[in-house]
Amino acid sequence: MTITTNLPASTADAALTESASLRAQHMARTDVLGKVKALSLLPDDIHASTEQAANYFEVEVEAIRKVVERNRTELETHGYRVVRGQEMKELASDIPSLTKVRALALFTRQTILNIAMLLTGSDVAQKVRGYLLKVEEQATPEARANAVQAVAERPEIERVTVARAKIEMLSVAVDAGLLDKPWAVTKTHIIAARALGEEPEMPEESKPYYVPDFLKDMGLTAKEIKSEQSWFGIRAKAYAEDQGIEVPAKRPRELPDGTIRETVAWRREHLPVFQAVWEQYYAEKYASPMFLELGGAA
């Protein structure tokens, strides 16, 4: 059922912050966000971080966290999630500035709009609500009903559309010789599985595994990894070639300063190469109790 709000502006604004059913009617109007203020997103152009959400609403990060804490279930319905573990590693591989982050809260445009309808004490959020209420006044009952239906279908449609675009771009890049094909196949598998709402399943040896990942697993600090990774990669490539092991092609990677760096697309199957280089050049320097095997730590 669609609920109308023929109320004074201030009363309607308050009702919007208090009623989940009223908020649901406006969730398709993410275009309103840009009419109030430019929204900065992560390089994937899909998600914003907690800090970016706070910057948009011109409030402290803690204010966003409190809204999430009080309304987590509703926000998760509209795209909010926290990435950890392997998914966090994959995200960081595309966004170098996140390499030291263990977990990250992600907000879609719908999540940001949802917060705008919940957050008090923000002039930006109030302006967003003002736009929404103005649009509602001008909309017919049929248009409101269609908007509610669109919200119900939009998350899945958006997820599949974005996934298809990513897969097509990977295919083009492989055909142009810009990406390592095995790496791209693995990435495609991950993207497709998540678009279908499933967790990707793949052989352990096919998973991406980069030099910084290995050095981190061996106990090196971020400063030590930065110091050693370049020469470690050179030595790993030389060792693989000497042993007749095919070295993966490189993949472009954008650094925090905006420059592009090409990185060899190593996978878990290359772990023995890393171990051999470690034993020859680094084991004595960094006495570590850890010893990895293909399936994980022993």
For residue 284, what are its two tokens? 């004595």
Task: List Cα–Cα distances, 103 to 133, 172, 190, 221, 246, in angstroms.
Answer: 36, 31, 19, 18, 34
Helix (H) or strand (E) holding 23: helix 20-24
The Cα 266–Cα 27 span in angstroms is 41
What pLDDT was estimated at residue 54? 96
- Per residue in 70-107, pLDDT tens? 999 999 999 999 998 888 887 777 777 787 888 999 99
The Cα 225–Cα 238 span in angstroms is 19
What pLDDT was estimated at residue 144? 53
Contact present, 255 and 285 (Cβ < 8 Å): no
Name the 3-class secondary structure at 156. Answer: helix
Q: Residue ranges of the chain with pLDDT lower than 70?
A: 1-10, 135-162, 179-180, 194-202, 252-261, 288-298
Task: List Cα–Cα distances, 38 to 30, 32, 53, 109, 132, in angstroms.
Answer: 12, 10, 11, 12, 17
CA end-to-end distance (rounded Å), the chain: 57
Contact present, 7 and 15 (Cβ < 8 Å): yes
Task: List Cα–Cα distances, 170 to 162, 166, 182, 210, in angstroms.
Answer: 12, 6, 11, 19
What pLDDT was estimated at residue 171? 78
The Cα 41–Cα 140 span in angstroms is 33
Contact present, 50 and 107 (Cβ < 8 Å): yes
What pLDDT was estimated at residue 156? 57
Q: 295: which DSSP letter?
A: T
CB burial of residue 62 (10 Å; 0-12, 13-18, 19+): exposed
What pLDDT was estimated at residue 297? 43
The Cα 248–Cα 179 span in angstroms is 9
Give the dihedral of Cα atoms 244, 249, 254, 260; nearest 10 deg: 90
- Residue 92's contacts (CB-CB under 8 Å, 6 or more residues apart) are 98, 99, 101
- Per residue in 21-62, pLDDT tens? 888 888 888 889 988 999 998 877 788 999 999 999 999 999
The Cα 71–Cα 73 span in angstroms is 6
| Closest residue by Cα to residue 297 from 17, 67, 289, 106 | 289
What pLDDT was estimated at residue 253? 61
What pLDDT was estimated at residue 202? 65
